[in-house]
């Protein structure tokens, strides 16, 4: 049984930084797509950043490129999202997502590609 435990999030002013972490347990493979999605009121859940754990390949939404960085810690099976230069439009509930896949290309941004989800954590950026 795969479980994802999120931590981090909170409130910050525009231009500030926050860090999210997601610890995974129960995976039977080292080849996984793992990362973050976000849901804002009135908007579809969107892929923010994902990492292919086997090779460390990363994928980012255009809206966060250059501001967010996803990374992984092999020892603790944890994926983190460092969010810098936050904007009010980054305000959303952020969800950790994971799936055991041989490749993340072409599907990383689609929520339907993932069976495993964290409980979500609120990120609020004020102007």
For residue 88, the SS3 value is: helix
> Is the pLDDT reported for residue 30 higher than 80?
no
Residue-wise pLDDT for 35-44, tens only, equals 999 999 889 9
Measured on CA atoms in the order 87, 88, 89, 91, is the torsion positive or negative?
positive
Task: List pLDDT tens digits, range 42-87.
Answer: 899 999 999 999 999 999 999 999 999 999 998 899 999 999 999 9
Any residues with CB less than 8 A from the CB of 12 and at least 6 apart, and which? Answer: 18, 86, 123, 124, 125, 126
- Residue 103 clears pLDDT 90, i.e. is over it: no
């Amino acid at each position: 049984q795969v479980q994802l435990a999120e931590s981090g999030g909170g409130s910050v002013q525009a231009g500030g930084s926050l860090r999210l972490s997601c610890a995974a347990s129960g995976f039977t493979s080292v080849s996984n797509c793992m990362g973050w999605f976000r849901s804002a009121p009135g908007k579809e859940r969107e892929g923010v950043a994902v990492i292919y754990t086997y090779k460390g390949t990363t994928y980012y939404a255009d809206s966060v490129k250059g501001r967010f960085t996803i990374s992984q810690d092999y020892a603790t099976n944890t994926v983190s999202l460092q969010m810098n230069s936050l904007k009010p439009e980054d305000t959303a509930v952020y969800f950790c997502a994971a799936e055991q896949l041989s490749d993340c290309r072409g599907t990383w941004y689609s929520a339907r590609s993932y069976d495993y989800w964290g409980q979500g954590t609120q990120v609020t950026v004020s102007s």
